[in-house]
Amino acid sequence: MQRNQRMILAGLAVAVIVVAAVLIGTSGGSSSSKTSSGPVDIQVRNQQPVGGVQPIDVKQGQRVRFTVHSDSAQEIHVHGYNFHKDVPANGSVSFDFPAKINGIFVIELEKPGVQIASLKVTP
């Protein structure tokens, strides 16, 4: 093998390693951070979260993004952050805010007091 061919192969090997490192780094290495890849959708039927209480895990400084779809009119309350929004019957409402406070926070249907999601913000 000639010197030029070896250099080209070495350069290609380095490029493959760099691309692999970038792909691994951008995947976050964790599947628990749902909001980093987009909003979390929460379905509510008969005043209950479909599939149970939905986890929303983010790092402090990231955006918290989720949408609630409900078959009945409800007030959605994010405890700790004290955000309230109304969702109409057979409608949806979206939340998008910066995760400034560390901790675990309940997201609930306010009037029946039913938890639909758990927001976990870590440093």
Please write the tens of the pLDDT for every residue from 40-74: 999 999 999 999 999 999 999 999 999 999 999 99
Give pLDDT, residue 1. Answer: 63
Give pLDDT, residue 43. Answer: 98
Dist. CA 49–CA 117, nearest whole Å: 8
Dist. CA 91–CA 37, nearest whole Å: 23
For residue 96, name the pLDDT band (cuts at 50, 70, 90). very high
Dist. CA 34–CA 45, nearest whole Å: 22
Task: Identify the CATH number of the domain defined by range 34-122.
Answer: 2.60.40.420
Give pLDDT, residue 76. Answer: 98
Q: How is residue 26 written in tokens?
A: 């951008």
In a 13 Å sphere around the CA of 39, the CA atoms on its Cβ side amount to 14
